[in-house]
Amino acid sequence: LQIFASADTAYVLAYSVIMLTTDLHSVNVKQKITKQQYIKMNRGINESRDLPEEFLSKIYDEIKNEEIKLKVTTTTTTKRGTKENIINDKQRELLFNIQMKDVELIARDLMANVGTVSEEFTIAKHLEHVRPMFQKAWSPCLAAFSVNLQDSDHIDLTNLCLIGISYAIRIACIFHMELERNAFIQALSRFTLLTATSQVMEIKAKNVECLKILISVAQTDGNYLGEAWYDILKCISQLELAQLFGVNANKARLPVSNHHHHHHHQVNIPTNSTSTTFSLPFDNLFHTEKGQLNKRLQSIQGQIQETSSQSIVVSVDRIFSGSARLDGDAIVAFVRSLCHVSMDELYSNPPRMFSLLKVVEISYYNMGRIRLQWSRIWEIVGEHFNKAACHPLQDVSFFAVDSLRQLSMKFLEKGEFPNFRFQKEFLKPFEIIMKKNSSSTIRDMVVRCITHFVDAQAKNIRSGWKNIFSVFQMAASDTDVQIVELAFQTCTLIVGVVFDRYFASILDSFQDAVKCLSEFACNVSFPDTSMEAIRLIRQCAKYVAEKPQVFREHAGEDLINVSEEDRIWVKGWFPILFELSCIISRCKLDVRT
């Protein structure tokens, strides 16, 4: 028939005919399936399209009028027909299994008879033969596994389906079959019942087993998962929420926990005096009568507590700690998915910060990678911190900036080779946060972070000085006295002390330093600071006059075609003279004088 889009359609339809025969002609099935129910059951099996209704109606009528007879003994048939009517699912499942055994006998007979076929059988001898075979078989396999996982609670059958799914994911990963890989992983994640659309009230032991397999796949096939990491990390995020639910099962609301355990560092987040609360995605449980609620809670709490077992907790931790072993492309996909999940959490109602903490963790674990890989990672992580630090909820912003501070301190400890610019990339988020976040508390926090870097890591900073002066330049035009004073105090320390010790390291950013001081001098709200800033510019001019040789010997990227004698003018005198002219044109008379 031309109505079948593929052989898969015929396969699925044949399976549904067997089920229809069992339902219509077994004396043990009390409630028979109707024609409309049968048509509805077969929707979408023809490559996501429906088979013609008249075709399915004809099949239904034929099967109803004439049963498909199996080659079984009369004794067996009579014995089955004498049982009492079966009305519960377990008995229906038993009857169906008996019928399937009969089908298996027929299949074995058919297979035994194909031995007379004269055509030559070709044995697959190469690994690549697996790919086209899997492309043909994956869809019915996924359907078979999914149906049995959804309908059956039999532990052996569940385990077989999960083994099949894990093998299928493995094959899809090895051959980089993204569609097939994503389909199996999404199906597995749905069967954990941890996704937002799942009915948590139905969680059973088989769902916990699905979670364990999903975690196992993440550990063994991490290099091949690509964008499928999102589904896995989303489940892990929801798992943490479910564990909170398991601890607080008798409450309809849960407090947001801002205290997260971490093995290598600790982030202290300021909390409000009143605890923040949020609605769980399990709220459908609480819109029931008290008796039913208690029964449901008791039935699922044990399974949720199982997800908090030591083995699962350790396995989840290993996913993040093991990220350091992922290859260059895989870690980028992992980080991108984790930041995506984190963004979902931050803009949920109310926000959660579980995945944001994990972003901090994996940044620690992967900081030892080669610079090329680390730059790709930080491009994603830095952008995520930019967004998180500009979150409308101040606690979230504060947490993001504080986490960024700790990561930056760790990174600056490594120092930087001459002519490299990794520090400049790493510290860029502080500039963006200072520019985009209008909260005085967060801006003050950023200035304090930069001050801390100068105090603790001045000897290791090279290209990062540009970011430091850029942040202080923005602080210089602020109206908050605390921000302006703290930033100017640090600039005074840099010009008075750090210049003496590490002037060669700051030389690339000398023009930025002078421009920063010029901005302080032009802030009309703080006249004393303006006068002091001009004094510091004069001190910068003193360095140029006393250390001309340093400028001559310095060969930055923008000075390759500049002679040694001209370098002192380009990098030293011109910036100072230009900024002084800006001060004269912008400031009041007393400052100009």
Domain ranges across the chain: 7-111, 130-268+278-366, 394-593
Question: How far apart, in Å, are the Cα atoms of 164 and each of 93, 187, 285?
Answer: 21, 13, 33
pLDDT for residue 312:
85
Rama region for 480: left / alpha / beta (φ>0; ψ in -120 to 50; rest): beta
pLDDT for residue 167:
96
For residue 449 the two structure tokens come to 């972070």
For residue 27 the two structure tokens come to 């004396």
Rounded Cα–Cα distance for residues 353 and 357 (Å): 6
Residue carrying structure tokens 């421009």: 515
How far from the centroid of its chain's Cα atoms is residue 426's Cα? Answer: 21
Check if the beta carbon of residue 396 is closer than 8 Å to that of residue 351: yes
Rounded Cα–Cα distance for residues 451 and 486 (Å): 8
For residue 362 the two structure tokens come to 């994996």
The b/e string for 149-177 (b: 16+ C-beta within 10 A; e otherwise) is: beebeeeebbeebbebbbebbbbbbebeb
What H or E segment, with its residue span, contains residue 586?
helix 574-586
Check if the beta carbon of residue 402 is closer than 8 Å to that of residue 389: no
Q: Is 360 exposed, middle or buried (0-12, 13-18, 19+ CB in 10 A)?
A: buried
Nearest Cα to Cα of residue 84 among 94, 74, 70:
94
Q: What share of the chain is helix, strand, coil (3-state, %, to 5)?
A: 70, 0, 25
Task: Reply yes or no on domain 7-111 having CATH 1.10.1000.11.
Answer: yes
Rounded Cα–Cα distance for residues 204 and 213 (Å): 15
Rounded Cα–Cα distance for residues 326 and 337 (Å): 14
Rounded Cα–Cα distance for residues 238 and 211 (Å): 11
- Grouped pLDDT means (10 residues each) for the chain, 593 residues: 74 82 76 86 82 89 79 45 53 72 72 62 82 92 92 89 96 94 94 67 79 94 95 92 60 38 38 33 43 51 63 90 94 97 91 94 93 92 95 93 94 82 91 93 95 94 94 94 95 93 88 93 88 92 86 65 73 86 73 56
For residue 553 the two structure tokens come to 């010997």
Kindly report, residue by residue over 150-183, the tens digit of the pLDDT: 888 888 999 999 999 999 999 999 999 999 999 9
Check if the beta carbon of residue 430 is closer than 8 Å to that of residue 446: yes
Rounded Cα–Cα distance for residues 502 and 448 (Å): 21
pLDDT for residue 246:
54
Is the bond leading into 350 cis (omega within 30 degrees of zero)? yes
pLDDT for residue 243:
74
Q: Which residues have CB under 8 Å from 524's CB, separation 6+? A: 530, 587, 588
pLDDT for residue 305:
64
Q: Which residues have CB under 8 Å from 167's CB, separation 6+? A: none
CA angle in degrees (0–180, nearest 5) for 390-394-400:
60
Q: 10 Å Cβ neighbour count for 121?
A: 6
Check if the beta carbon of residue 492 is closer than 8 Å to that of residue 536: yes
Rounded Cα–Cα distance for residues 305 and 249 (Å): 10
Nearest Cα to Cα of residue 389 among 401, 379, 406, 403:
401
Give the predicted TM-score (pTM) of the model: 0.72
3-class DSSP state of 175: coil
Q: For the residues of 326-376, what is the DSSP string, one character each?
A: S-HHHHHHHHHHHHHHHHHHHTSSS---HHHHHHHHHHHHHTTS-HHHHHH
Rounded Cα–Cα distance for residues 58 and 37 (Å): 14
Rounded Cα–Cα distance for residues 173 and 84 (Å): 49
pLDDT for residue 89:
62
Nearest Cα to Cα of residue 86 among 25, 31, 19, 33:
31
Residue carrying structure tokens 């001309």: 548
